[in-house]
Amino acid sequence: MIIQLLAAGAEAPETSFGFWQAMEEGGPVAWSILGVMIIMSVGSFYILFTKLFEQQKVMNQYKGVRSGFWRANSIREGATKLDKNSAWRQLADDAIAAEDKHAKLNDSLEAHDWMHGSLARSEHAIQAKLNGGLPFLATVGATAPFVGLLGTVIGIYRALINIGVAGSASIDKVAGPVGEALIMTAIGLLVAVPAVFAYNWLQSRNRKIFDMMSGFSTDLLANINSGGTIKPATMTASSTQTAGKAAAGRTTATATTPATGASTTTTTTTKR
């Protein structure tokens, strides 16, 4: 009896069900859907890393704006300290160009309105560049599950066809098509979830950059319209703090000469 069972087990056909077997069961349609998913996934990660690098570069350049640009005597001088291809240099150059062009206008358009519109156009151009590629992420996040669902529907349909032809719902008839359907669903989710995450994350970082650009444009406008007297409040506070530290390090003493009655002022610098 045991020998017969072992013989029957040895003669039983070996059937393996895996990813490649399921994809082969799906045929050209399954491979086509898988190819589309791969393109979507590769494109999403490419946009994620390139935009992340671009955003970080803009944020790092803003540190130079806060530390060096506003310490210059004029906006023209400060613009030369910024990177030529940076967004902040573009805003500064556009502000200078708007100031120069306003003197050539025949209409009595106020300088504030003219420069505000010019800086707004410059901001929108930079925003459009930073937002480039994000619609692709939104499209992938919205459509990838449905592309996977298409493969799921086709896999279930093939399983029903096999059941109808065989006249029975045996596991060997439905395992391949159902496995293909489940794989397509999983791939669709694996492509869509990172794309949605990347889109929301990059959008939040872009909003932060846009807020910084809006503040920088406002400071440029105030500085130009005031003839260079108005600078960001943070720079004023920093300059006041620096001057206070310098004054704290000096001690002033007044001495009177007995012979002449003249007063002599002596300043002593204390090193910290």
The predicted-structure confidence for 20-49, as pLDDT tens digits, reads as follows: 666 666 677 778 888 898 999 999 999 999
- 234 pLDDT higher than 60: no
Q: In the predicted model, what is the mean pLDDT of residues 221-243?
A: 63
Both structure tokens of 75: 């906006």
pLDDT value for 105? 65
Q: For the chain, give every domain's residue range.
A: 31-227
Number of H helices, E strands in the chain: 9, 2
Residues, the chain: 272
Q: Which of 58-62, 159-163, 244-248, 258-262 has the highest mean pLDDT?
A: 58-62
pLDDT value for 239? 44
- 269 pLDDT higher than 60: no
Buried b / exposed e over 79-106, threshold 16 CB at 10 Å, is beebeeebbbbbbbbbbbebbeebeeee
Cα radius of gyration (the chain): 35
- 160 pLDDT higher than 90: no
- 18 pLDDT higher than 50: yes
Contact 49, 42 (CB under 8 A): no
The predicted-structure confidence for 67-122, as pLDDT tens digits, reads as follows: 778 888 888 888 888 888 888 888 888 888 887 777 666 565 566 677 778 888 88
Higher pLDDT, 144 or 234: 144
H-state helical runs in the chain? 2-11, 19-26, 28-67, 75-79, 87-102, 111-130, 134-166, 171-225, 233-248
